[in-house]
Every structure is written in structure tokens, then in C-alpha cells.
Amino acid sequence: EYDATIASGRVIRYEINDDTVVDLIKRSTPVYVTVSKGPEPVVVEQVTIPNFKEMALPQAQQFADDNGLLLNLVEEYDDLAPVDTILSQSAAVDAKVDSGSSITLTVSRGKLVLVPNFSGLSKQLAAAKAQEAGINAVISERYSSRPAGSFISQSLSGGSEYTSGTMLELTYSLGNKIVVSSYIGQPRAALESWVTELNANGAGLRISVTETQNAAPKGNIIQQDPANTVVAPGASIQITVSKGKMIFVPQLVAPAGSDYSQAITRDQAEAACEELGLVPVFRAEAKSDRLPGEIWSQSIAPGKDVYEGTTITLKYNPASVTTVVPDFSGQTKEQVIAAGHLKKLKISFTEGEQAVPGQAGKIVAQSVTAGKTVAAGTPITLTISPAEVTLPSESTETGG
């Protein structure tokens, strides 16, 4: 019998079919021996070969996958058969082969196309010739020492075999003359952007920069050479760029212990920097002896001359405290100050345009509604009534 684990010819087992036999057997005792025939032979499945020439290449591959065949593809040019058309097969139609066999299919690469030599052709003629030959071509242009429109190069050598789908790049000259406009009064970045764009096409332009103090905005070009003229590829453009005007750094830190009438808050500092042309960078950092939102440190000392656009770092006490706006009606300025409200709110006083009877010198209006919860240091304007104006009475004389 077959046995995958015991070699052919080896004994698998033996049997004694005699109930009288206990320990010893006689010469006449029948013994049945089972010998291995080795592993059971594998039955190889047969596959009937179809006419692959009637199939598209994906169909042929699918048939091979489904039936355990291995496809070996050989490509050759054919002037008449489209690309991937099956031209021939190594196994005859209706032949039977074992599953796992390798079948060779000869597949068309299409018509043999040789890349033309495009030198001497204009862009228009080159594009037409490439299209006629079935070649995918793209035309690029770059500056060179050659006149505008001249042929420079092709990415595939003339006479080489063209592979379908490959992109051929034809490069033509943009010329050897570049018009440089004047960028005086414009940001330096505008000229740099223009140069970068042209250099992507081989212009090779360079920019040489000198910076100087000037009233013009920081970064603006105040001198340029050459300008409004024609240069060759590789030319250098010299520019002078403004560092901006000089400004005095203001005092943005009030003495420790100040109330909001003197303390500079973040919003005030931001407005002051914007007006002067400084660039503030704020850092929240707690300081026990400072009011919420108050600036308590500046990276550049007050009174120092710096260029417009200079960055200044300002530390401020986080404004994490809130307060309820009181009703200031009927109070005087002195009463508001004495009550310590300037430690909670940034209060400004203004005199009203019209007197309110009986309220001279007292607060008659406030810009933030009483009872509203606001952040500490919130600006609020209190309007004080002016004194009433007494007009002189007119006397009337009566004659007798």
C-alpha cells in the first residue's frame, strides 16, 4: 500500500491470524506482511492550450493564472499589429500540457519608431514632426548664448529606438538678451522673485545687495544698476536696500506699583509699536508686583535708536483676573481714585459737553455698563458734568 512516510519496499506492518499462537510461531503459521509502495503518485492536471492570439494580453494572463500556467513574454516590433497584440505562442492550440508549464507568448511592441534628429528644425516644425512620428514631445525654453528660437538639445538621441509612452523634451533658446526693469521703490522681494523665475529658465542672473539707512520703508530698493536696459544671461544686478528710518524706542514699562493710569497694557504697547514701526513679540510671564495685563519688561532699552521694523520682546503679566464694573454715577474723580478703581480698570476721565443740573464735577456717564464683568485693566471712559453757566439777568428801566 502507499505510505508517504515509509520508503518503497519497506515493511509497514505484519499480522498473524492464528489464535493458537502466543509467544512462538511455527513454520507453518501464516504471517501477513504489508510492504510500502512509497508516496502515492501525484496526478498532474492537464491544461488544454487555447488560441492566445485571439485574446487580449490581460485575458491571456488571467487564463494562465486560473490554470496554473507561467507566461513568458517576448516583445518584438511589428508594423501592423498594435502594441501588446499577441503574435504567436510556443504551445500549439488545443495541445495539452501539465499545470505549471511555461508558455512563451510573442507580443507586439508596435511599429518601430526611430527618434528623429530635431536640430535645425523650428519649434513648430519639430512639434509637427514628433506628432507625425507618434512621439510624445514637450518643448521647453531657456536662456542661452544662442539667438531666440534656436534649437539647443533633445532628451532622446537622434536615431535611437523610441519606447511608446516616453516623453521627449526639446529645448529651444529664449535668446541672449534680458530686459531688466527698474525696481526702485519696490520691495527687494519683488526683484528676487523675478530673478528666480528667469533663473529657472537658465538666465543665471545674480543680485548683489548693499543695505543702508534711509527714510524709505525697510526692504525697499533705493538704487539699482543696471535698470531699464538689456543684459546678457549671467549678469549681476547691484541694488541698495533701505534698512528703514531710525526710531527711538519708547518707555513701555511703568514703575513698579503703578496703577492703570500709568501702566502700559499689552493692547497699548501693541498700538504704540505699530505706530512707530516696531515689531512686538509678547511673552506672558507672571510678575507678582505688576497689574494683570501690564508690560513689565522690554528687550530694548527706552531711548535707544533702532531701525524701523526691529523686533522688540515685551513681557507682560497674564490678564487672568476679572472685575465687575461699578456704577460710577454721582461720584467725583477724586472719589474714584481714592477708592482704588485705577488698580482694577484703566480709567480715563473726560468732561461732558453739556452740564447736567446739580451734577457739576460728578460722573454722569460711563463707557462700560455698570455690573458687567470684564478683564482687569479694561479701558473705561467716565464723563464728568461741567459746571452750570449762569447767565446775567437783564434789567428793564421804566420811564414815568
Find the mean pLDDT for residues 125-146: 95
- The conformational region for residue 193 under phi > 0 = left, psi -120 to 50 = alpha, else beta, is alpha
Find the mean pLDDT for residues 127-146: 95
Task: Give the pLDDT band of residue 399 (cuts 50, 70, 90).
Answer: very low
pLDDT per residue as tens digits for the range 249-283: 999 999 999 999 999 999 999 999 999 999 999 99
Name which of 14-28, 42-56, 190-204, 262-276 the model is least confident about. Answer: 14-28
**H-only helix segments in the chain:** 57-67, 123-133, 188-199, 266-276, 333-338
Task: Give the pLDDT band of residue 11 (cuts 50, 70, 90).
Answer: confident
Helix (H, G, I), strand (E, B) or coil at 324: strand
- Encode burial over 112-144: b for 16+ CB neighbours within 10 A, e otherwise: ebebbebeebeeeebbeebeeeebebeeebbbb
For residues 282 and 111, the model is more confident at: 282
pTM of the entire structure?
0.51
Task: Give the pLDDT band of residue 400 (cuts 50, 70, 90).
Answer: very low
Provide the pLDDT for residue 39. 85
Neighbours of 378 (CB within 10 A): 22
pLDDT per residue as tens digits for the range 328-378: 999 999 999 999 999 999 999 999 999 999 999 999 999 999 999 999 999
Compute φ and ψ for 124, nearest 5 degrees: -65, -45
Share of the chain above pLDDT 90, in %: 78
pLDDT per residue as tens digits for the range 284-342: 999 999 999 999 999 999 999 999 889 999 999 998 889 999 999 999 999 999 999 99
Domains of the chain: 46-108 (3.30.10.20), 123-175 (no CATH), 178-242 (3.30.10.20), 247-316 (3.30.10.20), 322-384 (3.30.10.20)
- The conformational region for residue 335 under phi > 0 = left, psi -120 to 50 = alpha, else beta, is alpha
Closest C-alpha among 362, 264, 380 to residue 326: 380
Q: What is the mean pLDDT of the chain?
A: 92
pLDDT per residue as tens digits for the range 163-211: 888 999 999 999 999 999 999 999 999 999 999 999 999 999 999 999 9
With contact defined as beta carbons under 8 Å apart, do 275 and 267 qualify?
no
Q: How many residues belong to the chain?
A: 400
Task: Give the pLDDT band of residue 22 (cuts 50, 70, 90).
Answer: low
pLDDT per residue as tens digits for the range 216-249: 988 999 999 999 999 999 999 999 999 988 999 9
